[in-house]
Chains A and B, each alone.
Chain A
């Protein structure tokens, strides 16, 4: 018995020891886990870095360039010093830059253009799964890899850019929503992918992009070439769609801002307050994703995400009629810091027309000047570098102020300009007129015109006429895809040569279709929108145009016009059209069905009558009383009357 107890005790002891050992071991594992988890968790909090005080941010921002792996960022958090970047493995390099260009316009309005650029050295095209995101927004990255998107351009615009008053925008966009996507050539069913993609983007940007279907999607053959690095330009992988009726508002801005690495908490994005942005004459926000070369050899590509926002503030509604603009007046915010994740953060003010400050004065003054050739013109910019502490001055806040001194001065007319309208009266037919202006005094240049017209305006391509200076101007290339009812729109693309200093008029007739009553919009008498025509052109630059370029440059350099700057690419969007269609009476489907069926029944009945019956001599009908009497008599067994 004792022996039994002893063995029991021994067994218990053994069990206890085993248990203890197991416990200790598991604790070790747990500690290891905790350690590991910390390593993973830290890089997911970029917001923390944002909230750090100013002094640290400067050095951090510079380090972001070098230490790009997320592990390194985590370490940065703990030991802010360049020496700590030990574990950094340069696998995922990304870089974020932000800038704001302000161009004072001659009309007294002001044009502000934000650009946020994230470049990420990664390759989605190889089909490799990328699951580690830092600066690049994960929502877009997943979309690009899932749908094998090579390039994606999406813009939301409220208002119409007035080229004749404001000159050319840095990034043109049509009113409403525009989306064009180049898919990779591995995509087999492009249409299905496109449909899914538009639905996903609709969710991401809170826009009605889900209304993009085959009836408003086209495949332009020449007008939209890939903007990034690409070998193939097979337009089967391109889809282009516009929603001219789309209304852009706060709900589209918020998701757009969320894509920025700093959100709207720091950097230039703090200026993006919707109550000011949407109280403007023109507002356009866009997202452009494209592959770009990593280096000169272009052996590997990286992905570039460019988020742009253009806004024009009106002199009278936003500026109360005073020719004086400041950041605070425009955005009701001033700048106090740059985005700490940005490698560069700058404000450019276009001062080309103001070399001696005779037009307007700029305060605070900045010593930095920069020159760039923008849209074929050599422009001078005053630059504020937000990464430099000295920019913010002693008040630690930057409020750039532009005050006009004189109201004169005129703008160079834009070289290329277009407008469009519908001619004709009544609801049966009509004619679309597109006027393209070439304001260059002595050069002619070719333009590509793209028109996508919904199927319910039936275009007659045999009525297409192109005239410049009163003469017939035959397009050298026409790509026309006729519409299919309820399936696809018309696509008309042509290459036109615009003679110098001329107006080219393109007209085409159309017929308005009567739709089914369920196909009309809820306000059918408002009309139907037709998206903008797109004019893409290589325009001779104004630099090459000026005749006295010999002023500042050595004579030997100026005989032949400079090749690099002689042409620049430009895209111009015309106004969208609003076209009325004939409408049925929406209140009486039942009546129509009943009345038409009655007429058919009249036809059927009268023929049936004649077919089934034959002629007989009419027997006089006995009266009712007599018939009743006869029935009674029959029952009584008496012969009838």
Chain B
């Protein structure tokens, strides 16, 4: 298995290195779909330039990355390309290992269930075989590394790649059951962009499952684990926030990074829903809708946790997808991370309802983004509504994709309990509906 992975890594790095050398790199770095005001490399460079001029990078409204990033690149600015390629490689390898480990567990659980005869007799079709599961980790790594979204993101040197690396390391350490590392990486991800805060819950659920702690609020062991995890998480968050304070000697970065994420003052177009909505918003409703849209990202955590409490990894996938759709400054790099998980759910394909339509829409939108951008900004023959329409369509497609996978997952679980070929009372073939 190591050989194909190595080959894949070599291919991926070669593609990126070639693109860095080409004239496309500059063009890609300007694309609003690939870089957001937070993650743009141009702004990181600007922050470094401001630091060199003796001006606090947070005194202006151009630089919005965290202090750790600016200090990282203070030393690594000459090796930026290698850093971003390395980040992608780390993400891919971490995803590979995480999915491999997860698949092992899934297989073991399935084996126990089969031995205990817990599955209905007609569900054998749904049982996953080791041969089909064998290539899944490689496919996941490939889906991440060779996804055009990831490549664009890496060539544009969007710091989103670093966030993805941290998130995948969090996933790996969680799946391996390492509570401390999981908390530390989650805290790093939260520090970078608030939203991964919601991944706290799936991580705890997974660790409970891993340590055979029942998910029951009436049990002391449940609370003990929650307290332990939260203590590690909040402790490392505290350390990292204070470290940032000591690096810069001021708290300026808090409003400039997190205030910027939450209050959305920069309306530069991107693939998300926020920019045009708040550009066209009536001033006295702005705060209200801002709260609604931001709460929307965090809103699904608890219901999803309740529904998917036995499947924390799928819950993480759902959370990542929800974050990347509804966050305030999304880029295609965020989308690429959750799209990488799709091969891990390849066994759900028979229950997907509109995967063809959705993938067509996603592909068409990806092609239309630059076209309509050109028509609006350069040719002047279209206006902002054209680009906005495409962002709407892109987001609808993403929502349908995610809810389709959710539907398929829930339905498969239903079938695993009640049998695949359900019959009505009168013996005729039944159809399943959501009620």
Contacts and interface: CB of A to CB of B under 8 A. Distances in A.
Interface in A493-540: 511, 513-518
Given A588-B385, A610-B406, A615-B432, A517 B280 contact: yes
Contact of B55 (A482, A517, A589, A614): A482
Contacts of A595: 392
Contacts of A602: 396, 399-400
B92 to A, nearest CB: 29
Contacts of B411: 615
Contacts of B377: 426-428, 582
Name the residue in A425, A480, A517, A615 with the highest tally of chain B Cβ atoms < 10 Å from its Cβ. A615
Contacts of B385: 585, 588
Given A599-B392, A603-B326, A607-B406, A462 B46 contact: yes
B278 A516 contact: yes
A611 B409 CA distance: 12
Contacts of A428: 30, 32, 377-378
A525 to B, nearest CB: 10
Interface in A450-495: 455, 458, 460-462, 478, 480-486, 490
A613 interface: yes
A231 interface: no
Contacts of B378: 425-428
B73 interface: no
A91 to B, nearest CB: 50
B433 interface: yes
A616 interface: yes
A516 B435 CA distance: 43
Contacts of A8: none
A478 B280 CA distance: 38
A593 B281 contact: yes
Nearest to B414: A615
B434 interface: yes
B392 A582 contact: no
Name the residue in A585, A589, A613 with the highest tally of chain B Cβ atoms < 10 Å from its Cβ. A585
Interface string A607-641: 10111111111110000000000000000000000
A10 B396 CA distance: 111
B424 interface: yes
B223 interface: no
A609 B300 CA distance: 12
Given A596-B277, A607-B406, A618 B433 contact: yes
A26 to B, nearest CB: 65
Contact of B400 (A427, A596, A606): A606
Interface in B221-265: 265
A589 B284 CA distance: 13
B383 interface: yes
Contact of B435 (A426, A515, A611, A614): A614
A507 B303 CA distance: 54
Given A593-B280, A615-B410, A599 B30 contact: no
Contact of B277 (A425, A481, A593): A593
Interface in B404-419: 406-407, 410-411, 414
Contacts of B433: 615-618
A600 B407 CA distance: 18
Q: Bin chain B's interface residue count.
A: 35 or more
Interface stretch (B10-18, B56-64, B98-106): B56-64
B35 to A, nearest CB: 11
B431 interface: yes
Contact of B434 (A461, A511, A613): A613
Contacts of A460: 42, 45-46, 49, 62
A343 interface: no
Interface stretch (B178-186, B268-276, B333-341, B364-372): B268-276
A188 B228 CA distance: 52
Nearest to B303: A611
Contacts of A516: 267, 278-279, 281, 283
B419 to A, nearest CB: 11
Contacts of B303: 607, 611-612
A634 B288 CA distance: 51
A230 interface: no
A367 B325 CA distance: 85
A426 B433 CA distance: 52
Binding site secondary structure of chain B: helix
Interface residues of A, number: 54
B280 A615 contact: no
Contacts of A588: 280, 385
A509 to B, nearest CB: 9
B307 interface: yes
A517 B277 CA distance: 10
B405 to A, nearest CB: 10
Contacts of B432: 615-618
Contact of A585 (B306, B383, B422, B434): B383
Contact of B307 (A462, A515, A611): A611
A595 B385 CA distance: 11
Contact of A582 (B50, B273, B376): B376
A485 B256 CA distance: 11
Name the residue in A462, A583, A606 with the highest tally of chain B Cβ atoms < 10 Å from its Cβ. A462
A9 interface: no
A143 interface: no
A592 B376 CA distance: 17
A517 B422 contact: no
Nearest to B433: A618
A481 B54 CA distance: 10
B7 interface: no
Nearest to B296: A600
Interface in A560-595: 582-585, 588-589, 592-593, 595
Interface string A406-427: 0000000000000000000111
Nearest to B58: A482
B248 to A, nearest CB: 15
Name the residue in B266, B275, B279, B396 with the highest tally of chain A Cβ atoms < 10 Å from its Cβ. B279
B434 A610 contact: yes
Interface string A82-107: 00000000000000000000000000
Contacts of B277: 592-593, 596
A63 B276 CA distance: 71
Given A513-B267, A589-B282, A462 B48 contact: yes
Contacts of B395: 599, 603
A-B complex: 8 closest residue pairs judged by Cβ atoms: A482-B60, A462-B49, A606-B403, A613-B434, A592-B280, A426-B378, A617-B430, A589-B280
20 contacts: A427-B376, A427-B377, A461-B46, A461-B49, A461-B50, A462-B48, A484-B59, A490-B60, A514-B267, A516-B283, A518-B283, A582-B384, A593-B277, A600-B273, A600-B296, A602-B396, A604-B296, A610-B434, A616-B433, A617-B424
Given A584-B384, A585-B384, 11 more contacts: A461-B50, A485-B265, A513-B266, A582-B377, A600-B273, A603-B296, A607-B300, A607-B406, A610-B406, A618-B430, A618-B433
